[in-house]
Amino acid sequence: MTSNTATSLKARLKNLESHLATENPALKDAVKSFRKLDAVAYRLGMMGRDQSFATQVTWWPVISILGTFSSGKSTFINQYVGQKLQATGNQAVDDKFTVICYGSEDESRVLPGRALDNEPRFPFYRISESIDELLAGEGRRLDVYLQLRTCNSDRLRGRILIDSPGFDADDQRTATLRISEHILDLSDLVLVFFDARHPEPGAMRDTLDHLVRRTLERPDFNKFLYVLNQIDSAAREDNPEEVFSAWQRALAQKGLTAGRFFRIYDPDAAGDFGDEALRERFERKRNADMDAIIQRMEQVNVERAYRVSAMLEETAHYIGDTLVPAVTGARRAWKRRITWLQGIIGGGLLGVVIAIGVALHRSSEDGLSLGFPENPIVFWGGLALILILGWAIQHWIRRVAGRQVARRLEREQALGRRTPWLLAAFEHNVRSLKPYFFTTPRGYGRRVRRRLAGVISDAHGLVQALNDRFTRPSGPGGKGGN
């Protein structure tokens, strides 16, 4: 890492603090707390000094809109922002993920994916590196997958929308799936759209398998909202309620009984209902569901602030309660391998020394001399050579044992049982000159424990500040919080 890289990271984080001070002051100090965790991570070797936990957090709440082709995602976005922003149509009209954020200019602008990859405030910071891990060289083609669009709409202040390309599970590229999974993890709210005109079970099954098949396993499963759009197409059915019920049953067969379900349509594009009472009934239901969706979207700003606090505390606990014990366990395995290799190699060398001693003894004139040279320079030079050779062998043993343990950690990481941070922290210990018989990981001590405790205290303080801002248990005029 160069000093320029570290300086660039520092400048970006200062810029982030400046933006938060204006747009979300409650989170400004959270950046400093994440930097405290960075200092711990550097000492433990978890990550390089060109990285920061602060860049792995989406500071602006993210609302993702996913779904099948022609399910009305773009129409919904246009209605939400009050502008004809996204192209609409019955065919696939855009094959990129579009990140939509507030822009002060009246005219909307479309910026390349690089604008997202190099900006820590947005949810795709360094996404090109993740894509490269899956498909070598594909990260350079980031503009094929992502674009940034600005929009002067007050509803976008302090939040980000992501419009996904129409999902076709049979024709998905690996990089696109990787971005989809990334979006699901970082989103505060996920709207999954389906087209009431084409509720084919097969298409729905493919979509659910790729997008939300693990919803029930996620601790944040309640952030998924399922929207059956263009429900007005069922207005002339004998029992339009059955269309919605059949769709719910199809989801339930996948185990997706959690999450909220809505049915909406575009009033401007609705056909003739043929009956005024029927139209009013559909419209009331549509308006109620739209209001509920919008209200949920407006709530994400508050939820994001609390989520950042939770991430801060969870990361500190992860380092102290999970990572450090895991590195300690890996060090023990490393030490056992070193002892085992020392026994094998040391036993072999001892045998060689004994054999040489016996040979020298037998070849001496009086039968008693061990054949040590009379010249002290030769003697001490030979002894020094033996010590150097012993040090080199010991160093080689440490490295070999370290590679064996690292390969095991890599396999477990590939299976999802370990995080990349563990492997990096362990390799940091292997490279260290710290004697292998020390039990604690390199860089971990009283100062680190105090810093982790301080970060946890910061997280609690952030929650208190948020409570003071958003709650008033004492009633009007009373103080929030306690």
Residue 187 confidence class, pLDDT cut points 50, 70, 90: confident
73 near 143, Cβ under 8 Å? no
If phi > 0 it is left, if psi is from -120 to 50 it is alpha, else beta; for residue 479 that is: beta
324 near 444, Cβ under 8 Å? yes
72 near 266, Cβ under 8 Å? yes
Residue 92 confidence class, pLDDT cut points 50, 70, 90: very low
86 near 94, Cβ under 8 Å? yes
pLDDT at 208: 55
180 near 168, Cβ under 8 Å? no
**Of 98-107, 248-257, 263-272, the least confident:** 248-257
| DSSP secondary structure, 168-213, as one string | -GGG--HHHHHHHHHHHHH-SEEEEEEETT---HHHHHHHHHHHTT
Residue 116 above 60 pLDDT?
yes
What whole-number percentage of the chain has pLDDT above 90? 10
**Of 109-123, 172-186, 276-290, 309-323, the least confident:** 172-186
Residue 463 above 80 pLDDT?
yes
If phi > 0 it is left, if psi is from -120 to 50 it is alpha, else beta; for residue 150 that is: beta
**Cα angle 38-39-41, degrees, rounded to a multiple of 5:** 60
**What residue type is assigned to position 477 of the chain?**
G
pLDDT at 313: 93
Residue 273 confidence class, pLDDT cut points 50, 70, 90: low
Strands 189-195 and 224-229 turn out to be parallel
What whole-number percentage of the chain has pLDDT above 70? 65
Residue 381 confidence class, pLDDT cut points 50, 70, 90: low
Strand intervals (E) in 201-245: 224-229
pTM over 0.75: no
pLDDT at 455: 94
Residue 363 above 80 pLDDT?
no
pLDDT at 319: 93
Residue 171 confidence class, pLDDT cut points 50, 70, 90: very low
Domains of the chain from N-terminus onward: 1-57+302-482 (no CATH), 60-298 (3.40.50.300)
- Which strands form 260-263's sheet, in the order they lie side by side? 110-112, 146-151, 97-102, 160-163, 62-67, 189-195, 224-229, 260-263
Report which DSSP code applies to 441: P
The C-alpha atoms of residue 89 and residue 301 are separated, in whole angstroms, by 31
pLDDT at 97: 84
The residues with which 97 forms a beta bridge, in sequence order, are 146
pLDDT at 369: 47
Residue 163 above 80 pLDDT?
yes
Q: Which of these, 285, 278, 321, 284, lies nearest to 444 by C-alpha position?
A: 321
Say how far residue 362 (Cα) sits from the centre of its chain: 69
Q: Which of these, 64, 97, 69, 92, lies nearest to 206 by C-alpha position?
A: 69
pLDDT tens column, 430-445: 876 665 667 788 889 8
**Of 82-91, 113-122, 163-172, the least confident:** 163-172
Q: Which of 191-205, 220-234, 324-338, 345-359 has the highest mean pLDDT?
A: 324-338
pLDDT at 218: 66
Residue 471 above 50 pLDDT?
yes
pLDDT tens column, 26-48: 787 888 899 999 999 999 998 88
pLDDT at 259: 60
Q: Which of these, 437, 429, 392, lies nearest to 409 by C-alpha position?
A: 429
Say how far residue 241 (Cα) sits from the centre of its chain: 39
What is the total residue count of the chain?
482
**Cα angle 261-264-270, degrees, rounded to a multiple of 5:** 160
Residue 135 above 70 pLDDT?
no
**Of 31-40, 115-124, 346-355, 370-379, the least confident:** 370-379
pLDDT at 448: 93
Residue 452 confidence class, pLDDT cut points 50, 70, 90: very high
pLDDT at 456: 95
CA distances from 9 to 39, 51, 324 (A): 14, 8, 26
pLDDT at 450: 94
pLDDT at 184: 78
Say how far residue 38 (Cα) sits from the centre of its chain: 16
Residue 371 above 80 pLDDT?
no
| DSSP secondary structure, 94-106, as one string | --SEEEEEE-SSS
**What is the average pLDDT value for the chain, to the nearest integer?**
75
What is the mean pLDDT of the segment spanning 95-121?
81
